Structure 1
């Protein structure tokens, strides 16, 4: 059977998903293709109808549709419901089922660096959709100490309140508070767009008093491959990693939802890195 998957977004032309999923097809031996589907904001209902008519049985959802898709779904899994965003849809017997693989995708990327991460003290930088997904995933995996640093404290407070997890100690932090207590944390997760191309000299923190020994610092940005934030953390002795593995794992998890097959990410990672180098 020839499978047809795709990514829905506005814009969508620069998506790396086709490169990743074509490699997943090759690795699993399944026959299929993965396409980019441009659907303008406000036209999602009509666009999804057209996808179904074309025979699409699974698709990824990206900006700006991750929340707009929810009213169009017949069912939504618990993780996506808790996060309030969907990035993967499976078409099953004509029904649309929504999932969020960003959360578990980050966890898998973190486990590669530290399999024993649940015992660590965490701070999230940012309080947007990605931060919310990662916060929920960390709580689900049993992390006990998890704070959120954001310019607008109300947004951090809302994420903590909505998670409603009494087993986890969380508090909202200003950037000043984080800088004053920066060595109280073992793992730092940067979830904002600060440092992304073309603003590669920007960083959310300058880490002046940071001692990186034994610390882990991650940034969900992957272009550039090393943000200024990661560069500064590495100079201070921290173990660092970017968002590329998260991108690949969330794609692999989506592929598993659609096909039942969980592909490895190594060769897809090589292909994506070559493409990113070619775009410089």
Structure 2
């Protein structure tokens, strides 16, 4: 289907800095075209100092919805009218819906992670997890896992203070949170590998091929499921593949978070297979 722009074309997009590398415009526009929705999805380069004006621009220009990516996911909360439940816990938003100038913020990263995880793990609640990192991405992953009812998560980070802050922030989400999340020093990861089924890296370590490993990857066992939310086969994932593990990069999470955002905006079921096909190209 060819794209025709006219006076009824609705505008969606993504705010980020930088943002030219984003894969979202390609697969979101493909979804609009497949469902014959008269809409386009554009990347908007928004510098941090321009974020407030950019958000007001959503209202002024009647932009129907936007995704929010780094470095704006937390700061953008200052400029919206309402936030969803998951945003209150995660402390960050990646999706905004505009209804006649009223902006509501959502976070679809948690949903995206869990839906991606389901592709390689049918039963989630009865597994034990190691989550590496305590930043915004980690909080989305943790929120998703806790909502799924998992019973044990080892949370590894360089500074344990951040891990304890997450436990405190999530205390209203689950009253047993102190039993579920166990803070672990980053340099003690190998001690806990025997106790976990799933290893998840939420940090940026591995984005650069020269990055030092988070731990001794040779300690990974074939029984482990290994996930890295970076959109490439990192050194961690290469070792997991070498060991014969089930593994997954960040593309499924990207796909499903985008599909959920599409459904929030349009009220229509996202054509996930079409979006996946375009994304993989």
Give the TM-score of the pair, scaled to structure 2. Answer: 0.91
Write the mapping of 1:58-69 to structure 2, written as runs, cut at 5 A. Answer: 58-69=65-76
Counterpart of 1:156 in structure 2 is 163
Deviation at 1:190, TM superposition (A): 0.5
Structure 1 outlier segments of 4+, above 3 Å:
none
Deviation at 1:166, TM superposition (A): 3.0
| CA displacement, residues 100-147 of structure 1 (integer Å, 9 cap, x when unaligned) | 000111000001111211110011011110001110111011111111
User: In 1, are the aligned partners of 2:62 and 2:101 still within 8 Å (CA)?
Assistant: no
Write the mapping of 1:1-280 to structure 2, written as runs, cut at 5 A. Answer: 1-164=8-171, 165-168=174-177, 169-196=180-207, 198-199=208-209, 202-213=212-223, 215-222=224-231, 225-274=232-281
Unaligned runs of 5+ in 2: 1-7
| Distance in 1 (alpha carbons) for counterparts of 2:219 and 2:112 | 31
Unaligned runs of 5+ in 1: 275-280
Question: What SS class does the counterpart of residue 117 from structure 1 fall into?
Answer: coil
| CA displacement, residues 212-254 of structure 1 (integer Å, 9 cap, x when unaligned) | 22x21100001xx311101112222211000001001111100
Alignment length (residue pairs):
270
User: In 1, are the aligned partners of 2:218 and 2:239 still within 8 Å (CA)?
Assistant: no
Give the TM-score of the pair, scaled to structure 1. Answer: 0.91
Deviation at 1:28, TM superposition (A): 1.9
Deviation at 1:80, TM superposition (A): 0.8
Deviation at 1:64, TM superposition (A): 1.4
Question: What SS class does the counterpart of residue 5 from structure 1 fall into?
Answer: strand
